[in-house]
């Protein structure tokens, strides 16, 4: 009988997925429970509490959407926007452009505020756009994985408030790697993914909707066009302390994995985890400098968990990536969009943000570049 091949062991130092700790892998193999089993329901409640702690929010509607980070994006925009609503969306990389595409498909009128790839959005430009018409939503990417930029948020949130708009933040790559603090930052809604700094396989999208976002959901003229991602229906399935209303079958094993991954995040402590990411990045920057390689993003805007490195003249970016994969069993990312062929993207995310990992990567890069 033919069998699917065993996947190779590859050290994942690209833009995601990130390395998964053995405890999380073991959780995936635990005995399956029914998705309405009381034990599983207790675990769902626990995961909601853990996600609130990790997001830094008290919002009741905080849960993992079934699907990858993009499902979190789609759930957010689908529930917060209605046809004809005006949305201001920041684009400073590939993932902002995806939100624009998604919002337009929903019939929203989208005003795009752009910044060059590798730079941050200008909050004054966001303010001008938000005040230029009655604006329902201001959305932006907190950690642009396509460029390695950490977007400052205060000015954008203040601009949205002054315009009477809701704030949505894509925290797919930021959550667990740098401070997110949804309530303190003033985000009304935020989504993430399991496969970046939480170090859980891809498959769930943590999502939180605060009180203003839930008021918007309740005030909609019509239900959202997606049945699967309908926040009001999902709230019925995930509501604590009352009879669950079956909506869809939760991916039980992925919820086990997320629960264990969040245990590890909270045991370590968020502040210690952010500091570990920062230190791993500092070690990487020093090693890249020794190799004569240049980081693209200015130090003040750099994401510790994702570093874009300029490919030196005369070097074929793809050949280097292939040799790292084939000879050293290490994955790094290539450039996306406007940065294709011009940069490598090195992810030190979650379980991958460790000094021994950085040293192994630098040794492998030195070897491949010397060749
Ligand atoms: C910032 C950002 N947003 C959204 C996504 C989409 O997530 P997924 O690929 O898990 O659907 C990604 C994935 O890399 C991302 O980095």
pLDDT tens for each residue of 246-264? 899 999 999 999 999 999 9
Give yes or no for residue 193 CB within 6 A of ligand 1: yes
Measured CA to CA, the distance from residue 347 to residue 331 in angstroms comes to 9
Instruction: Report pLDDT for 240.
Output: 78
CA–CA distance, 211 with 188 (Å, rounded to integer): 7
- Using DSSP, state whether 337 is helix, strand or coil: helix
Q: Is 15 in the pocket of ligand 1 (CB under 6 A)?
A: yes
**175 in contact with ligand 1, CB cutoff 6 A:** no
Percent of the chain with pLDDT over 90: 95
CA distance 115 to 100: 14
Per-residue confidence (pLDDT) for residue 100, from 0 to 100? 98
Supply the residue whose CA is at minimum distance from atom 8 of ligand 1.
69
Contacts of 27 (CB under 8 A, 6+ apart): 253, 256, 257, 259, 260, 261
| pLDDT at residue 307, as a whole number | 98
Q: Which atom of ligand 1 is nearest to the CA of 145?
A: 16
Q: What count of Cα atoms within 13 Å lies in the side-chain half-sphere of residue 149?
A: 26
So what's the pLDDT on residue 245?
A: 84
Tell which residue, 302, 351, 298, has the closest CA to residue 144: 302
- Per-residue model confidence as pLDDT tens digits over 145-186: 999 999 999 999 999 999 999 999 999 999 999 999 999 999
pLDDT tens-digit series, residues 66-84: 999 999 999 999 999 999 9
70 CB near ligand 1 (under 6 Å): yes
Centroid of ligand 1 to alpha carbon of 334 (angstroms): 15
- pLDDT at residue 337 above 90? no
3, exposed or middle or buried, with CB in 10 Å at 0-12, 13-18, 19+?
Answer: exposed
Sign of CA dihedral 118, 147, 340, 92: negative
Nearest to 80 by CA among 208, 270, 254: 208
CA of 70 to the centre of ligand 1 (A): 6
Res 242: pLDDT: 73
The predicted pLDDT at position 178 comes to 98
**Separation between Cα atoms, residue 257 and residue 305, nearest integer Å:** 21
73: CA distance to ligand 1 center in Å? 9
Cα angle 311, 298, 115 (rounded to 5 degrees) comes to 90
Instruction: Give 200's pLDDT tier (boundaries 50, 70, 90).
Output: very high
Question: Nearest to residue 318, comparing CAs of 306, 334, 295?
Answer: 334
User: Ligand 1: distance of its center to the CA of 359 in Å?
Assistant: 27
pLDDT at 298: 97
Ligand 1 center to 28 CA (angstroms): 22
| pLDDT the model gives residue 50 | 98
Could you tell me if 226 and 71 are in contact, meaning their C-beta atoms sit under 8 angstroms apart?
A: no
Closest by CA to 284, choosing from 317, 256, 306, 269, is: 306
For residue 17, give every residue at least 6 positions away whose Cβ sits within 8 Å of its Cβ, in sequence order, or none: 195, 196, 201, 202
- What pLDDT score was predicted for residue 239? 87
Model confidence at 59: pLDDT above 80:
yes
Task: Say if ligand 1 is within 6 A of residue 173 CB.
Answer: yes
Domains of the chain from N-terminus onward:
11-16+269-370 (3.90.1150.10), 22-266 (3.40.640.10)
The answer, yes or no, to whether residue 97 has pLDDT greater than 80, is: yes
Q: Which of 90, 93, 145 to mutate to test the pocket of ligand 1 (most atoms within 8 A of CB)?
A: 145
User: Does the predicted TM-score (pTM) go above 0.95?
Assistant: yes
């Amino acid at each position: 009988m033919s069998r699917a091949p065993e996947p190779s062991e590859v050290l994942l130092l690209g833009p995601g997925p990130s390395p998964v700790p053995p405890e999380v892998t073991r959780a995936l193999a635990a005995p399956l429970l029914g998705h309405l089993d009381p034990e599983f329901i207790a675990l769902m409640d626990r995961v909601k509490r853990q996600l609130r702690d990790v997001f830094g929010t008290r919002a009741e509607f905080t849960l993992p959407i079934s699907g990858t980070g993009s499902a979190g994006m789609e759930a957010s925009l689908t529930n917060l926007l209605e046809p004809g609503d005006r949305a201001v969306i920041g684009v400073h990389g590939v993932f902002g452009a995806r939100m624009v595409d998604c919002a337009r498909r929903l019939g929203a009128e989208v005003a795009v505020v752009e910044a060059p790839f590798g730079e941050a959005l200008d909050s004054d430009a966001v303010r001008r756009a938000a005040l230029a018409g009655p604006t329902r939503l201001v959305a932006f990417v907190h950690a642009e994985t396509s460029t390695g930029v950490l977007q400052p948020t205060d000015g954008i949130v203040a601009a949205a408030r002054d315009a009477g708009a809701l704030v949505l933040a894509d925290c797919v790559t930021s959550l667990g790697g740098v401070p997110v603090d949804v309530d303190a930052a003033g985000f009304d809604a935020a989504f993430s993914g399991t496969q970046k700094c939480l170090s859980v396989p891809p498959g769930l999208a943590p999502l939180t909707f605060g009180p203003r976002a839930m008021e918007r959901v309740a005030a909609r003229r019509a239900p959202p066009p997606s049945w699967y991602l309908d926040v009001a229906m999902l709230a019925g399935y995930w509501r604590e302390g009352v009879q669950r209303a079956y909506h869809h079958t939760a991916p039980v094993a992925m919820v086990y994995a997320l629960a264990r991954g969040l245990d590890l995040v909270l045991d370590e402590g968020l502040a210690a985890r952010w500091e570990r990411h920062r230190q791993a990045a500092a070690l990487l920057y020093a090693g890249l400098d020794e190799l004569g390689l240049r980081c693209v993003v200015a130090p003040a805007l750099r994401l510790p968990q994702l570093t874009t490195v300029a490919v030196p003249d005369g070097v074929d970016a793809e050949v280097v990536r292939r040799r790292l994969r084939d000879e050293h069993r290490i994955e790094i990312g290539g450039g996306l969009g406007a940065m294709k062929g011009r940069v490598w993207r090195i992810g030190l995310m979650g379980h991958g943000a460790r000094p021994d990992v950085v040293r192994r990567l630098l040794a492998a890069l030195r070897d491949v570049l010397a060749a």
